[in-house]
Amino acid sequence: MDTYNAIIGRRSIRRFEDISVPSDVLEKCVNAGRLSPSAANKQPLKFISITRKLKEVFRYTNWAGYLDWEPDESEMPRAYIGILKKEGYGWDIDAGIAAQSICLTAWNEGVGSCILGSIDREKLQEILPFPSDFKLIYLVALGFPAENPEVVESENVVEYHHEDDVLKVPKRPLDKVWIKW
Ligand SMILES: Cc1cc2nc3c(=O)[nH]c(=O)nc-3n(C[C@H](O)[C@H](O)[C@H](O)COP(=O)(O)O)c2cc1C
């Protein structure tokens, strides 16, 4: 898969098969996060791979706020990578860039992902073992896809819907976002 096709073909996956994510895929994802760009190369991030207490972690996530749909526990993520940033150090965007690196690395291995920013950080901090001077910025949910969402060209960015059980993801058309000068 070339980089461009990986970037345009990746979709957020929120329904997963009941298959574990191989540990070598998790390692590749964390390594991709580690080697991602960071402001002034400060590398303020740590990564926690999570393959236990999955139901508990799932409880403290918030799925697809725009969709009139509740995820089924049987289709929950089979792993997560938590992206942690040292308090008061580096830039938050470093975590976002690392998150995209993780998602694209997973996608290239046939593993679906979803970046989760709407999470109960306080509760998750109680469950997950990580240094107290680090803050959880994002979780990236991972698993083999049990859905195949499709892009629809639309200016209405909240127009998510299921059609024949396929999630349609609105994206603003190219000519609406590209200012040629
Ligand atoms: C910073 C950030 C936070 C996000 N948080 C959540 C979240 O809490 N729950 C969720 O279901 N999706 C979350 N998403 C996924 C977006 O909803 C998703 O990227 C968007 O709907 C576009 O779909 P696509 O990723 O398939 O292009 C988040 C994405 C980003 C970049």
Structural domains in the chain plus CATH codes: 3-148 (3.40.109.10), 149-181 (no CATH)
Q: What is the mean pLDDT of the chain?
A: 95
Tokens of 158: 């909240």
Looking up tokens 């040292």 gives 86
Q: Which residues line ligand 1 (CB under 6 A)?
A: 11-12, 14, 62-64, 114-118, 149, 169
CB-CB contact of 139 with 119 (8 Å): yes
Q: Which tens digit of pLDDT belongs to each residue from 100-140?
A: 999 999 999 999 999 999 999 999 999 999 899 999 999 99
Beta strands in the chain, from DSSP E residues, in sequence order: 45-50, 79-86, 112-116, 134-143, 150-153, 161-163, 166-171
Helix, strand counts (H, E) of the chain: 6, 7
Reported as type and span, the H/E element at residue 9 is helix 3-9
CA distance 169 to 154: 9
Q: Closest by alpha carbon to 153, among 133, 123, 174, 132?
A: 174
What's the confidence (pLDDT) of residue 22? 98
* Contacts for 4 with CB less than 8 Å, ≥ 6 apart: none
Going by their DSSP bridges, the two strands 166-171 and 150-153 should be labelled as parallel
Q: Determine the residue of 67, 115, 124, 167 to mutate for testing ligand 1's pocket, defined as the one with the most ligand atoms within 8 A of the Cβ atom.
A: 115
Q: Which tens digit of pLDDT belongs to each residue from 60-114?
A: 999 887 777 777 889 999 999 999 999 999 999 999 999 999 999 999 999 999 9
Tokens of 8: 């345009």
- Residue of minimum CA distance from atom 18 in ligand 1: 12
Separation of CA 145 and ligand 1 centre (Å): 16
Separation of CA 138 and ligand 1 centre (Å): 11
CA distance 144 to 20: 8
Task: Give the 3-state secondary structure of residue 123.
Answer: helix
